[in-house]
Amino acid sequence: MDYETIEIERHGRVALLRLNRPRALNALNAKLIGEIADALTHFEADAEIGCVVLTGSAEAFAAGADIKELRDKTVAEAYLDDFLARWDGVARARKPVIAAVAGYALGGGCELAMMCDFILAADTAKFGQPEIKLGVIPGSGGTQRLVRSIGKSKAMELVLTGRLMGAEEAERCGLVARIAPADKLLEEALKSAQTIAALSLPAVLMAKEAVERAYETPLSEGVRFERRMFYSLFATHDQKEGMTAFIEKRSPKFEHR
Ligand SMILES: CCCCCCCCCCCCC[C@H](O)CC(=O)SCCNC(=O)CCNC(=O)[C@H](O)C(C)(C)COP(=O)(O)OP(=O)(O)OC[C@H]1O[C@@H](n2cnc3c(N)ncnc32)[C@H](O)[C@@H]1OP(=O)(O)O
């Protein structure tokens, strides 16, 4: 896979995808988004990959959609092309995607991070949805995912003022799972990803699907969904191996299928 705006590294069962448009602070233009989408499609189909880490540079995870590319679009072009509908791919990934955010994650950059399954932030991370300062609003889930992650008041303040939020505040309000020193961010993200990738893939995918279902489902239905997934895992080799290994006081050897 030859790419111009992203770099790929493989670390065992983990794929590291690094956004690489440093001179534009990883502004998300159509080429960069297309390459992210293509790489994710490959990882989804690759049985040797159990988890993906998405990261940027020390300065920016992504400073938003590429404003220079957006500026001259017309409403007809945007509506007929519906480009944003195609850019939701990270949110549709079945395998876990961890966002490792240092520096700016703004606008579409923050939305991209929120499409991932969880965010690990460097102490240098700055999050925000500053679209209002450009005369627009978030267009890739920012108003929807932010409220569900951090609650209405703080989400509304961030969206209406366009102010940025540092890593500490982001962790305190629940946008970020954990903070790491900037020079340890990637190490921490890869460690989490390797832990996940060593587990039973059916259980991991079902766990992700069940957690995501909480966004879309009333509690009683969500609990029923989770219960059906729980019962179904008793048909897998990995459930027998996992519970047997515990009883025999040894590490499980999951087959990942
Ligand atoms: C399956 C595929 C999945 C992919 C999912 C994709 C997710 C969705 C992507 C589309 C989202 C569309 C909807 C979205 O809600 C809309 C937006 O994101 S609008 C943009 C929002 N972002 C901003 O408003 C931030 C803009 N940038 C800044 O405010 C500042 O640059 C900064 C980040 C505060 C840093 O300031 P400085 O340190 O002073 O640096 P500079 O400003 O000089 O920037 C350096 C250099 O980078 C260029 N640049 C920075 N940000 C952008 C940008 N967003 N677009 C284009 N270019 C940008 C800047 O112009 C400088 O370059 P130069 O002009 O010097 O060549």
The model's pLDDT over 88-107, given as tens digits with 9 standing for 90+, comes to 888 899 999 999 999 999 99
Compute the distance between CA of residue 151 and CA of residue 172 in angstroms, rounded to an integer.
12
Identify residue 37 by its one-letter amino acid code: A
CA 61 – ligand 1 centroid, Å? 10
Compute the distance between CA of residue 226 and CA of residue 216 in angstroms, rounded to an integer.
13
CA 95 – ligand 1 centroid, Å? 28
Same domain membership, residue 74 and residue 141: yes
CB distance 229 to 209 below 8 Å: yes
Answer whether 252 contacts ligand 1 (Cβ < 6 A).
no
Q: What is the pTM of this model?
A: 0.97
Angle between helices 142-150 and 108-115 (to 10 degrees): 60
For residue 120, being part of any structural domain is answered with yes
Same domain membership, residue 146 and residue 27: yes
Domain count, the chain: 2
State the closest ligand 1 atom to the C-alpha of 68, by its place in the atom list counted from 1.
56
Answer whether 201 contacts ligand 1 (Cβ < 6 A).
no
Same domain membership, residue 232 and residue 206: yes
Answer whether 107 contacts ligand 1 (Cβ < 6 A).
yes
Structure tokens at 173: 């309000």
Answer whether 63 contacts ligand 1 (Cβ < 6 A).
yes
Which residues are registered as beta bridge partners of 10?
Answer: 15
Mutate to test the pocket of ligand 1, among 5, 21, 23, 25 (most ligand atoms within 8 A of CB): 25
Same domain membership, residue 186 and residue 226: no
CA 177 – ligand 1 centroid, Å? 24
- Which helix (H) or strand (E) covers residue 224, if one does? helix 219-232
CA 40 – ligand 1 centroid, Å? 22
Same domain membership, residue 219 and residue 157: no
Instruction: Find the CATH number of the domain harbouring 94.
Output: 3.90.226.10
> Alpha carbon 60 to chain centroid distance?
15
Output the pLDDT for position 155. Answer: 98
Instruction: Outline where DSSP puts E strands in the chain.
Output: 6-11, 14-19, 51-55, 60-62, 97-101, 104-106, 118-122, 126-128, 165-166, 178-180
Contacts of 225 (CB under 8 A, 6+ apart): 210, 213, 217
pLDDT in tens, 21-79: 999 999 999 999 999 999 999 999 999 999 999 999 999 999 999 999 999 999 999 99
How many distinct helices (H) and strands (E) make up the chain?
13, 10
Same domain membership, residue 101 and residue 227: no
Instruction: Find the CATH number of the domain harbouring 217.
Output: 1.10.12.10
Answer whether 210 contacts ligand 1 (Cβ < 6 A).
no
Q: Which domain holds residue 204?
A: 200-248
Instruction: State yes or no: pLDDT of 1 exceeds 80.
Output: no
What ipTM was predicted for this assembly? 0.97
For residue 94, being part of any structural domain is answered with yes
Active site residues: 65, 108, 111, 131
